[in-house]
Structure 1
Amino acid sequence: MRAALCQITSTPDPSANLELVRSGVRSAAAAGASVVLFPEATMACFGVPLGGLAEPVDGPWAGTVRDIAEEHDVLVVAGMFTPAPDGRVFNTLLVTGRGQHLGYDKIHLFDAFGFAESRTVAPGSTPVTVPFGDTVLGVATCYDVRFPELFGTLADRGATVILLAASWGAGEGKLAQWELLVRARALDSTCWVLACGQADPHTPDPKAPTGIGYSTVATPTGEVHAQLAADPGMLVVDVDPGLVESTRQSIPVLANRRLR
């Protein structure tokens, strides 16, 4: 499976961000990718009112992303915001193309480092896996990466590749934590983890997480397979599902668990 990680800097304008998606998918498809991963908050960056921007996954923004995916015959995964029943929004990861069109609502909300995502965002409750040819993909969003039980659950449900979208907040030690957590989740789920973050805007919003870049692909043994730097860019990788099988034979941590 060839995948592309499109490290972008979202704007507050969903229409402008659709053009970033369109351009990224076009380049990824030209490079032979069948899966194209964008960051959390691709629809609109954090730091702006989200309630007025939120649309359901059958709405026009997600529908346009689906059209882009179908035009290039790829699976696109991108962060958006959908309405929640209590007046907040869900932080939703859209999965569309290749016969799929669904959303994953972020389970673990970023109430940390002085930011309270739960003030405007409602938590999801259901892990999501998606069949893709002979592979099962799991999906996760940003702060989810700090919770190994979610990644173990995705692996239990058949995932061998986990797509992680993020808008990682900057700060002291945050880059080291990002890489450490991505590698750790790959190792303890014995999955490939493809982690795509927002690029560093170089003018961070102190009130909202924006991005630091450094999109990272980690192997099932926790090694960094490929990585971008801080600025916008695209990372294209070939994912070998056979490495998952061989890793799970030699490091059977999923089979050896006693506490769940």
Structure 2
Amino acid sequence: MRVAVCQLNTRDNRATNLVTAGELLKQAAAAGADLAVLPEYVDYLGPAAGVPKPEPVDGEFAAFFATAARTLGMWVLAGSFHEAGPDAERTYNTSLVFDRDGELAATYRKIHLYDVEIPGRVSYQESKTVAPGTEPVVVEIDGARVGLSICYDLRFPELYRRLAVEGRAEVLVVPAAFMMHTGRDHWEVLLRARAIENQCYVVAAGQIGDHDPGRTCFGRSMVIDPWGTVLAQAPDTTGVVVADIDLDRLATIRQELPSLANRRL
């Protein structure tokens, strides 16, 4: 299976962002991708006052990416968007997966919310406006079991172990908007760790560059194999990179170094 990570600089104009996302999906399809992964909040990343009205999973956001998946004949993981939440004050941060026919195959709501205070650098309380999801999700894509996550989830290894063991995941996906000040030190390290410890491929699509108000995302979208080797990495610009997932290689690694089978806890 060939996977593509699409790296965007999403801003505060939803229509423009969706056009850009659509163009990157076309590039991914032209490169032979079976699955394309877009970043967190692919449709809008900007001032809170301009956030699009929250939608259900069958709203305009979903319709746009369902049409793209069907038109291109490709699986699409549509990053994430503001799904209508449990109350008037909070949304969900939600990923949708569409199959080659444009049918909704999976929905995942971000479990771990980014509540961080770093004096002089960042003050962000995602839980003020976003409700946490509760359920890990694995979806089968062209014979590969794919575990879903979003951005800050990456710092919680117990989620990925559950995806790998209980969900029998072989691929882990991470749409993200990872901040520059943490991304430059932690992004690749954490992604490679999740790949190695769970003996899974990791497919991570990130936002890149500046986003109002005063937010800069790290980018460096990448695909990593179960040995922890980076197979493909995006340069520091908007674009698409692709890599091939080889489930036979995954099986060999799990057989020769059976750390998942040897676990005691």
What TM-score, normalized to structure 2? 0.91
Return the letter of the residue paired with 2:168: G
Quick one: which amino acid aligns to residue 91 of structure 2? V
Contact 2:151/2:177 (CA < 8 Å) preserved in 1?
yes
Moved over 3 A (4+): 49-52, 203-206
Looking at structure 2, the residues matched to 98 and 190 of structure 1 have their Cα atoms a distance apart, in angstroms, of 27
Q: Distance in 2 between matches of 1:31 and 1:224?
A: 19
Describe how 1:80-99 pairs up with structure 2 within 5 A. Answer: 80-87=81-88, 88-99=90-101
Matching residue of 2:234: 228
Identity of aligned residues (%): 38
- Alpha-carbon shift at residue 222 of structure 1 (Å): 1.3
Give the drift of 1:106: 0.3
Output the CA distance in 2 between the equivalents of 1:147 and 1:230.
Answer: 26
Amino acid of the residue matched to residue 226 of structure 1?
A
User: What corresponds to 2:177 in structure 1?
Assistant: 167
Aligned to 1:149: 158
Q: Given that residues 167 and 198 in structure 1 are in contact (C-alpha distance below 8 angstroms), is that contact kept between their aligned partners in structure 2?
A: yes
TM-score normalized by structure 1? 0.92
Structure 1 residue 49, shift from structure 2 partner: 3.9
The residue that corresponds to 2:53 in the other structure is 53
CA distance in structure 1 between the partners assigned to 2:140 and 2:168 by the alignment: 9
* Counterpart contact for 1:191–1:244, Cα < 8 Å: yes
Contact 1:90 1:105 in 2 (8 A): yes
Distance 1:80 1:216 in 2: 21
Task: Figure out how many residues of one structure are paired with residues of the other and give that number.
Answer: 255
1:24 and 1:255 map into 2 onto residues whose CA distance is 39
How far did 1:244 drift? 1.3
Cα distance in 1, alignment partners of residues 132 and 50 from structure 2: 15
Structure 2, unaligned runs of 5 or more: none
CA distance in 2, matches of 1:11, 1:51: 11
Moved more, 45-54 or 117-126: 45-54
- Which residue in 2 is equivalent to 1:245? 251
| 8 Å CA contact 1:192, 1:239 repeated in 2 | yes
Aligned residue type for 1:195: A
8 Å CA contact 1:51, 1:83 repeated in 2: no
Aligned amino acid, residue 113 of structure 2: L
Q: Which of the residues 207, 213, 224 maps onto 1:205?
A: 213
Find the aligned partners of 2:133 and 2:46 in 1 and give their Cα distance.
18
Q: Which residue identity is paired with 2:254?
A: R
Give the CA deviation at 1:50.
7.0
Q: How many Å separate the matches in 2 of 1:52 and 1:98?
A: 27
Q: What are the superposed Cα offsets for residues 132-183 of structure 1, whole Å, 9 maximum, x if unpaired?
A: 1221111110011111111111112121111110001121x53120010000
* Contact preservation (8 Å) 1:81, 1:90: yes
User: What are the superposed Cα offsets for residues 178-225 of structure 1, whole Å, 9 maximum, x if unpaired?
Assistant: 010000000111100011100123x6633x5x4111012111011222
Q: Check whether the contact 1:50–1:81 (CA below 8 A) recurs between aligned residues.
A: no
Instruction: Give 1:51 deviation, angstroms.
Output: 6.2
RMSD: 1.7
